[in-house]
Chain A
Amino acid sequence: MERKTKVNAEDGKQEIVITREFDLPLDLLFKAYVEPEIVEQWMGTKVLKLENKQHGGYRFETSDPQGNVVLRTNGVIHEFVPNEKITRTFEMENTPFAVQLEFLEFESLADDTSKLNMHIVFRSVELRDQLLKLPFAQGINMAHNRLQDIVSKLK
């Protein structure tokens, strides 16, 4: 089966391209990025601010199951063309990661299918690679934590 979500990260480049085809009409796909209550549902974040217009901004907040805020993200919207594109910056507050630039392009494939092309540009190759490795590193840390739990129980 062909993978629906593809990530293209060429060696030595400070950008990545994420593409995904959806079993959704274009307007519904775009709506998922526009309506705050819908964004909250699929992103699993709280939307503090979302101004869908040129020079608008957004701010999201992620909490752990106990309700402690673990991450705030924000950005500025540079271009907003309904059912076509959103150009914006993205920043994770209080992290070593520098702000990144995102080009989101929405495209209709058929009546009930659509495609999202997400082009992300980073400040440096190093920062891009670090961000790419984040879920991988988290996986390793989780495995380590489990191992430490087991070891500590053996003591």
Chain B
Amino acid sequence: MNLRRDVFQAIADPTRRAILLLVASQSMTAGAIAANFDSARPTVSKHLQILTECELLEQEQNGREMYYHLNPKKIKEIADFIEPFREMWDQRFNKLETVMKRYQARDGKKNKG
């Protein structure tokens, strides 16, 4: 199993994006998903495996059939991919503010003394 599978690598492929759109409306079996594509069944299976590995898709057993559905939590993470970047800058600027407040306090004391 490849633990380093990247979600962005996963959604970079147009077929995999199409699969995500397809199962967004309803849970589907691998067979029903494959029926929507010209690709060979093993190719579609491989795509499903990748999407499941990076947790964009979740599997659910229903009777004898295995159904695939979207993992909304993971999808939201992608939608919010800018958030870690924003947090990085926020932390950096918080540090700037702290450093300068300390500087200001020390400077004020010096002026009074």
State A151–B60 Cα separation when bound (angstroms): 24
Residue-by-residue, is B62-85 near A (CB-CB < 8 Å gives 1, otherwise 0)?
000000000000000000011111
Cβ contact within 8 Å between A7 and B93: no
Given contacts A22-B93, A144-B3, contact A28 B103 (CB under 8 A): yes
Partner of A5, one of B4, B90, B100, B101: B90
| Any B CB within 8 A of the CB of A132 | yes
Chain B residues positioned under 8 Å from A6 (CB to CB): 86
Chain A residues positioned under 8 Å from B92 (CB to CB): 42-43
Chain B residues positioned under 8 Å from A138 (CB to CB): 84
Q: What class of interface size applies to chain B in its complex with A?
A: 20 to 34
Cβ contact within 8 Å between A32 and B84: no
Chain B residues positioned under 8 Å from A29 (CB to CB): 96, 100
Residue-by-residue, is A30-41 near B (CB-CB < 8 Å gives 1, otherwise 0)?
011000001001
Given contacts A20-B93, A135-B88, contact A151 B3 (CB under 8 A): yes
| Any A CB within 8 A of the CB of B45 | no
Chain A residues positioned under 8 Å from B98 (CB to CB): 42
State A23–B86 Cα separation when bound (angstroms): 19
Which B residues are closer than 8 A to A by beta carbons?
A: 3-4, 6-8, 81-90, 92-93, 95-101, 103-104
Which A residues are closer than 8 A to B by beta carbons?
A: 3-7, 9, 18, 20, 22-24, 28-29, 31-32, 38, 41-44, 116, 132-141, 144, 147-148, 151
18 residue pairs of the A-B complex, CB under 8 angstroms, read A3-B90, A4-B90, A5-B86, A5-B89, A7-B85, A7-B86, A22-B97, A32-B96, A38-B103, A42-B100, A132-B81, A133-B8, A133-B85, A135-B88, A136-B84, A136-B85, A137-B6, A139-B84
